């Protein structure tokens, strides 16, 4: 009897196990599809952290969208992001850790030139593809399997200043004298040096040249020097908040620069400053037509606006940093999808031979340092908004450069 009952109980347990097993099977199969792990660092703390927040939000949006589309190769995607504290040396260690300890499948770049170069060294050592966000000096990109998402072109120190001076020359008051003031941050100094050469070739007179160290606090004397030099145009090799601080200092002296340009400003804080009226800068993407007509752009712009507002960012609109970040993910996804593999060499070979549809348009990677075309445009603060004013074919609603 005992045996019978025991046998019957055993049969019941077996049946139950079979049923539960059948129910659990899809879930188990899903668990078996381990996620594709993509590793990166971002400057989540430290002096570059304000801009890194943009890249964090973009990465989260992209991974969510990617997983909604079914992930990569039918597997969900997991993004492992570590804080490099704005320190290139720490970025190097963390990328090493991502490859050797976390054993990620793919790498994606950090933001800012110093950290990108550190990551590139590690990627090269382990033969990993590295798609990166905003490398400002293409000549430093020596590694064959690195791919830039910021379409600066191969010689931005010449082409970008030329675009800016073309815009000014076509404007209502072409400048004759220029004050050049710049941060000594490497990618800024590099572009400013190029701008000085371009100015010389164009016959413009440099009436002032000043440099300051990254992290400078007192812009009063610099504003004073600019005012004293009485230039037609001020080139500000600005990064982050330099432009705001300089304009604040100028305001205290009752000085308004006639025409003024800021290289890589924190776009939100600058546009919200009343003194930044008519300020010029450069961009690869703005939250306006025709940029927003790129496939997927409108949805991304909407999502980013929501998330950035929720995160308390001063400017929730998509511009260069967010666009370059999104582009980096698009490039990596295109490589994996086209090759149907996570093989770094196959992805790199495909990317070098093909163009990728991105938020910025079709990008190619066959130029010097795998850079393609220079897609930098000139934008201006008009009525409290950034408006693209040059070249004409990408302006919205016939916007034109204003000179007071």
For another protein, the closer CB: 212 or 304 = 212
**Hey, which residues between 153 and 192 contact another protein (CB under 8 A)?**
184
**Hey, which residues between 19 and 58 contact another protein (CB under 8 A)?**
44-50, 52-53
Under 8 Å CB-to-CB from 360, ≥6 apart: which residues? Answer: 151, 284, 285, 294, 323, 324, 327, 375
Among 166, 206, 343, 373, binds another protein (CB under 8 A): 206
- Cα separation, 346 vs 343, whole angstroms: 5
Under 8 Å CB-to-CB from 339, ≥6 apart: which residues? Answer: 346, 347, 350
Q: How far is the CB of 290 from another protein (least distance, A)?
A: 29
Decide: 189 and 182 in contact? Cβ < 8 Å: yes
Is the torsion defined by CA of 173, 179, 184, 186 positive or negative? positive
Under 8 Å CB-to-CB from 97, ≥6 apart: which residues? Answer: 82
Among 89, 102, 228, 299, binds another protein (CB under 8 A): 228
- Cα separation, 31 vs 178, whole angstroms: 62
Q: How far is the CB of 84 from another protein (least distance, A)?
A: 13
**Hey, which residues between 67 and 86 contact another protein (CB under 8 A)?**
86
Is residue 203 part of the contact set for another protein (CB under 8 A)? Answer: no
Binding mask 236-275 for another protein (x = CB under 8 A): ----xx--xx--x---xxx-----------x-xx------
- Cα separation, 22 vs 24, whole angstroms: 5
Instruction: Report the largest interatomic distance among the alpha carbons of the chain, rounded to a whole angstrom.
Output: 108
Q: How far is the CB of 210 from another protein (least distance, A)?
A: 6
Among 26, 74, 203, 312, binds another protein (CB under 8 A): 312
Is residue 215 part of the contact set for another protein (CB under 8 A)? Answer: yes
Is residue 220 part of the contact set for another protein (CB under 8 A)? Answer: yes
Q: DSSP secondary-structure letter at 401? A: -
Q: Which parts of this chain interact with another protein (CB under 8 A)?
A: 44-50, 52-53, 86, 184, 206, 208-213, 215-218, 220-222, 224-225, 227-228, 240-241, 244-245, 248, 252-254, 266, 268-269, 311-314
């Amino acid at each position: 009897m005992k045996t019978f009952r025991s046998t019957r109980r055993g049969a019941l347990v077996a049946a139950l196990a079979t049923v539960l097993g059948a129910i659990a099977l899809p879930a188990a199969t899903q668990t078996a599809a381990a996620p594709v792990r993509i590793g990166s660092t971002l400057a989540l703390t430290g002096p570059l952290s304000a801009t890194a927040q943009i890249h964090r939000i973009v990465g989260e949006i992209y991974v969510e969208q990617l997983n909604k589309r079914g992930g990569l190769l039918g597997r969900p995607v997991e993004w492992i992001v570590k804080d490099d504290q704005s320190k290139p040396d720490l970025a190097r260690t963390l990328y090493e850790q991502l490859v050797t300890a976390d054993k990620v499948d793919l790498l994606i770049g950090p933001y800012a030139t110093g950290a990108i170069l550190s990551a590139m060294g590690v990627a090269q050592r382990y033969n990993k593809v590295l798609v990166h966000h905003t490398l400002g000096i293409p000549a430093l990109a020596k590694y064959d399997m690195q791919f830039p998402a910021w379409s600066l072109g191969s010689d931005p120190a010449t082409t970008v200043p030329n675009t800016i001076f073309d815009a000014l020359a076509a404007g209502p008051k072409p400048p004759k004298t220029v004050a050049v003031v710049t941060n000594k941050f490497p990618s800024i100094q590099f572009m400013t040096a190029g701008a000085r050469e371009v100015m010389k070739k164009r016959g413009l007179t440099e009436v002032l040249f000043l440099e300051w160290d990254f992290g400078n606090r007192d812009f009063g004397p610099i504003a004073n020097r600019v005012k004293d030099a009485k230039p037609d145009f001020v080139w500000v090799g600005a990064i982050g908040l330099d432009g705001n601080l300089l304009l604040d200092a100028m305001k205290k002296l009752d000085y308004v620069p006639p025409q003024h340009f800021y290289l890589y400003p924190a776009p939100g804080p600058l546009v919200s400053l009343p003194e930044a009226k008519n300020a010029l800068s450069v961009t690869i993407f703005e939250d306006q037509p025709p940029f927003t007509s790129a496939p997927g752009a409108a949805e991304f712009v909407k999502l980013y606006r929501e998330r950035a507002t929720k995160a308390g960012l001063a400017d929730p609109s998509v511009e260069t940093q967010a666009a370059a970040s999104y582009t980096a993910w698009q490039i990596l996804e295109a490589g994996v999808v086209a090759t149907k593999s996570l093989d770094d060499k196959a992805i790199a070979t495909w990317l070098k031979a093909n163009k990728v549809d991105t938020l910025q348009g079709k990008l190619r990677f066959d130029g010097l340092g795998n850079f393609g075309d220079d897609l930098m445009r000139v934008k201006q603060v008009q009525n409290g908004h950034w408006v693209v004013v040059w070249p004409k074919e990408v302006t919205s609603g016939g916007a034109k450069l204003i000179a007071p």
